């Protein structure tokens, strides 16, 4: 396991990837977004105003699995599960809770 980045570093990586449009969105994430009636503006707000509540190393996938928790534009809680491969600055949004 590599040295763990701080939660702030992981959050900056997630925010940067969303701002640059380089985040990968899984099919499951897109489906959950539609089921929740949420949009990317909701995701952006949750990520920009929220924080990481959990960060774990995922050895088989060689990335950090983290949960970003925040609120959408209507004030409803969103939890976004992300995979962050810090060395490549690759962020994948996996699911929305």
- Average pLDDT of span 51-66: 94
Query: What phi and psi, each to the nearest 5 degrees, are found at residue 89?
Result: 50, 45
Q: Residues 32-46, buried b or exposed e (16+ Cβ, 10 A)?
A: bbeeeebeeebbbbb
pLDDT band for position 96 (cuts 50, 70, 90): confident
Query: What phi and psi, each to the nearest 5 degrees, are found at residue 86?
Result: -60, -40
pLDDT (tens digit per residue) in 17-41: 999 999 999 999 999 999 999 999 9
Which CATH architecture fits 7-96? 2-Layer Sandwich (3.30)
pLDDT band for position 94 (cuts 50, 70, 90): confident
pLDDT in the model for residue 93? 87
pLDDT band for position 97 (cuts 50, 70, 90): confident
Domain boundaries, the chain: 7-96
Sheet holding 63-71, edge to edge: 24-25, 90-96, 77-85, 63-71, 51-58
């Amino acid at each position: 396991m590599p040295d763990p980045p701080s939660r702030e570093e992981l959050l900056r990586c997630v925010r940067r990837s969303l701002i640059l449009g380089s985040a990968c969105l899984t099919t499951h994430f897109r489906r959950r977004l539609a089921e929740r009636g949420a949009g990317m503006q909701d995701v952006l707000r949750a990520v920009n105003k929220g924080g990481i509540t959990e960060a774990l190393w995922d050895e088989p996938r060689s990335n950090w699995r983290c949960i970003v928790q925040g609120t959408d534009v209507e004030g409803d809680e969103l939890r976004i599960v992300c995979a962050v491969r810090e060395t490549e600055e690759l962020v994948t949004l996996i699911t929305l809770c």
